[in-house]
Structure 1
């Protein structure tokens, strides 16, 4: 299906990135939040460069939306690379305690360095960064144990950078979602669109839904949900057949329904990315 490439870089994200880089100088530890369904596609290519020598806590949110087996495999894959992924379901408050402890541990290290240099201790300064809609605001609200950060399925709700104090030991910077200024990897861009992690982007729902069908064709999720067998049909043909059978031939409505069902977990727990084989 030929439609223009998915591209999205609104002005406010460019502005947010500039403000974030300014604030990063004052930060001790970075909480990088990714979508557990697509851990590689939700890794911002410049994050490593931004973080430099600072501590990083790798948060895999939406763990409830992937099978336990996928979680195990990703944990192993990241550990092989010297990272410890912490899985959360921020929506329902699962895995939050481990994040809190990891941030405090980073604070202890940072303050020890300060004491060694004859400086006073202070609360650890942490920042939460990640793509729009990966669940940063929900995570912050859970860490604070109250709702102070507005979250929405619309990208760009968090536009201002602001510091919030979690406890005597931790101050947290809530930063808007950041996106690479160019989505050069269209395969990743499709997955971001499927998972709704690029906000209200300029993309074609029918194309994105067709790609989702292709990505999950080995599971029985579609047949179970819609009662229509995929068989040898392409994603595009299945979309048309489903529109004809269930949605009065309305392909656009069908595409939106499939995407909504996937995003809400109505198709079951599905990982769209598995660890690459080296």
Structure 2
């Protein structure tokens, strides 16, 4: 299955970001801590044109903490500051403004030496759909300003949001890129909910994700779904499908004739993965690890 999702408003959003870039002091790039590389738009480097950048690893409460620590070091090696956080609970939120001021310290100090009182930091927030931008904005504001939802594509336009006297934040719609050269990227994005389910074959997404979990988080599957044994050869698709059918039978996803409803099973599995009921799971590690 080939996964692509690039609605027209994403093209407009890119043009709008580029138009506003001259007003921006710092960019806040929001990634999914479970898939930091796959949730990173490869066009962003070109779009931001070298602006100082803070990377936020959102949904860190759902990611494997040991793997997240490796990602923080990975970004540090790239010359980028990365901050694990959880926009839904507010964990890590208070560190965002100090980190942005640190990135702009030379500019702020130069203004102070000239006797200029630094104005509010103008920050741009960018990220793919459903990565938590609107939730983050509402946490920063302490009230609901931006629309949120558990489906991608909620934010459709730009808006400036003022946070006290220290920061003005430009919210933008989530932007994917026109083509996934690596379909594994598309699978990971789909598994974490960044692509609309209506255009997906959920059984394919669940199949690939369960195969990964058998290899790296097998005990989570066994504990959560009461599975006795897992296959050793995940390259054999029949073995993985057998695990999917076991999950379906354990959860009552049965159709007439006693067959397992793989569509219902897949939806159930993905919902439990996304909600953290399978524990803290990271679906990729830094390239050098």
TM-score if structure 1 supplies the norm length? 0.91
How far, CA to CA, are the matches of 1:199 and 1:186 in structure 2?
Answer: 16
Superposition deviation, residue 124 in structure 1: 1.4
For residues 57-113 of structure 1, what are the alpha-carbon distances to aligned partners after superposition, in whole Å with 9 as ceiling and x for unaligned? 010001111222112222222222222210101111100011121123345543445
Aligned-residue Cα RMSD (Å) equals 2.1
For residues 197-236 of structure 1, what are the alpha-carbon distances to aligned partners after superposition, in whole Å with 9 as ceiling and x for unaligned? 2234621100000001011113211121111245226333
Residue 28 and residue 230 in structure 1: after superposition, are their counterparts in 2 closer, same or farther (change >3 A)?
A: farther
1:224 paired with 2:235, answer no
1:138 paired with 2:135, answer yes
Aligned residues of 1:214 and 1:234 also touching (Cα < 8 A): no
How far, CA to CA, are the matches of 2:101 and 2:163 in structure 1?
Answer: 11
For 1:174-189, list aligned pairs within 5 A: 174-189=171-186
Residue 230 and residue 159 in structure 1: after superposition, are their counterparts in 2 closer, same or farther (change >3 A)?
A: farther
Q: Residue 50 of structure 2 aligns with which residue?
A: 53
For 1:1-278, list aligned pairs within 5 A: 4-113=1-110, 121-200=118-197, 202-218=199-215, 219=217, 220-229=219-228, 231-232=230-231, 234-245=239-250, 246-248=252-254, 249-277=260-288
Query: Which stretch shows the higher mean deviation, 11-20 or 133-142?
Result: 11-20
Aligned residues of 2:121 and 2:166 also touching (Cα < 8 A): yes
Unaligned runs of 5+ in 2: 232-237, 255-259
Unaligned runs of 5+ in 1: none
Instruction: Give SS of 1:5's match.
Output: coil
For residues 176-211 of structure 1, what are the alpha-carbon distances to aligned partners after superposition, in whole Å with 9 as ceiling and x for unaligned? 101111122211110000000223462110000000
Query: Which stretch shows the higher mean deviation, 8-17 or 186-195?
Result: 8-17
How far, CA to CA, are the matches of 1:73 and 1:121 in structure 2?
Answer: 35
Query: Which stretch shows the higher mean deviation, 212-221 or 172-181?
Result: 212-221
Query: Which stretch shows the higher mean deviation, 162-171 or 100-109?
Result: 100-109
> What is the aligned length?
275
How far, CA to CA, are the matches of 2:53 and 2:198 in structure 1?
Answer: 29
How far, CA to CA, are the matches of 1:200 and 1:17 in structure 2?
Answer: 24
